[in-house]
Amino acid sequence: MELLAGSSFSNIIRLSWQNKFRVHPKYWYRYYIAVRASHYFLPFRLIERMKYNRKIRETDIEQDPIFIIGHWRTGTTLLHSMLTKDENFGYVTNLETYCPHFFLSFEKLTRRIIDFALPKKRPMDNVKLSSFETAEEEFAIGSYDKYSFYHHFIFPRNFDLYSKYLFFDECTQDEIQRWKTRYQFFLKKITLKHNGKRLVLKNPANTPRVKFLLEMFPDAKFIHTYRNPYFVFSSTLKLFRNLLPVFSLQKWDDKQIQDGFLRNFKKMYETFERDKELIPKGNLLDVKYEDLVVNPLKAAKQTYKELLSDNYELPKEKFEQYTKQQSSFVPNQHVLSDDIITKVNDYWDQMRRDYGYERMEVERS
């Protein structure tokens, strides 16, 4: 599935201009397909806009969302997939992620397109993929505008440029407001689809955006997942080494990507540790990955007890059924190289200490 294929033509040109139209010849056909798809879907976008834009703008998000945050590869997908088995919640799937402009008007057709285009499993961890599976809205925001960190999948040579949309500290107030407007519009659209249900959203890129999320949703609740940083780095490298060949329009420098994630992770947790103090008392729950994968039902119970006890009853039977389905899943096994250990010690040692993980050392021969 081409990430740009769900974008408007104007957004494709905007991003291409931002990257000086630097598309490697190897990927010209990929770019061509995205442009053709954008033209093909133009009538779909126009019909959706005429039918629903007014309804979307008039939709109220009556209950502030629940945001699942935490660095990539810390269990956010597992937790999100389980919590969304509760029919009281609305959420984002691959349907809305890849075709955010017209999923309300053409759901059946869009599902067929997405299920045809997507692989059956995620390339980095063999998790099931389909139009019905949960997804993160960062991809959808990227289909509207430039304000998405995930554009670096398409234009990895501009990794640092798109990293600024993780933090927004180098953005103007106008840019921040534009991102907020896009984000709120999309969440209103998801709320409309789910008939006003409270949204449970999973987006690792939101981890350093707590301050901005609270400005939009003052009573939002946050579930923060965390994991041993040595395995986070190893797993993140695998993630992006598998996804870049699928999505990129440029050749990339693996060292640049590694260094970028090392810097971003450090800054992400410095920002999160500072801004989490803004979260109202009782609205933040930390979930340890190592506990989550061993007993996901226990993590769900903790979530309902500490964050949702006033208004929601845990659907135990559905959660048990989901965890049973997942019991045969075998996660990736990671061999920690000396290089990984050294880089984590150099860049992420503060986070390791803050979250209680033992320091590893390179064995000297």
pLDDT in tens, 2-32: 788 889 999 999 999 999 999 999 999 999 9
- Phi–psi pair at 260, nearest 5 degrees: -65, -40
pLDDT-derived band at 86 (thresholds 50, 70, 90) equals very high
Helix (H) or strand (E) holding 95: helix 94-98
Instruction: Please report the beta strands in 70-157, taking only residues with DSSP state E, as ranges in sequence order.
Output: 89-90
**Which tokens hold the place of 190?**
């998801």
What is the spatial order of strands in the sheet that 284-288 belongs to?
89-90, 198-202, 66-69, 221-226, 284-288
Rounded to a whole number of angstroms, the distance between the first and last alpha carbons of the chain is 46
The model's pLDDT over 38-76, given as tens digits with 9 standing for 90+, comes to 999 999 999 999 999 999 999 999 999 999 999 999 999
**Which tokens hold the place of 141?**
């925001």
* Alpha helices (H) along 169-209: 173-193
Q: Report the 10 Å Cβ neighbour count for 22.
A: 12
* Count of positions (residues) in the chain: 365
How much is the pTM? 0.94
Give ∠ CA 150-89-273 in degrees, rounded to 5: 50
Q: What is 3-354's CATH number? A: 3.40.50.300
**Which tokens hold the place of 69?**
């945050």
- Phi–psi pair at 67, nearest 5 degrees: -105, 120
Q: Which has the minimum average pLDDT: 78-82, 108-112, 124-128?
A: 124-128
pLDDT value of position 332: 63
* Residues 157, 251: Cα–Cα separation, whole Å: 7
* Residues 257, 197: Cα–Cα separation, whole Å: 38
Residue of 267, 260, 294, 286 whose CA lies nearest to 351: 267
pLDDT value of position 327: 66
pLDDT value of position 120: 73
pLDDT-derived band at 213 (thresholds 50, 70, 90) equals very high
The model's pLDDT over 335-361, given as tens digits with 9 standing for 90+, comes to 789 999 999 999 999 999 999 999 999
Q: Is 70 exceeded by the pLDDT of residue 133?
A: yes
The model's pLDDT over 287-342, given as tens digits with 9 standing for 90+, comes to 999 999 999 988 888 999 999 876 778 888 888 888 887 766 666 666 789 999 99
Q: Is 60 exceeded by the pLDDT of residue 124?
A: no
DSSP code for 203: -
**Which tokens hold the place of 49?**
């806009």
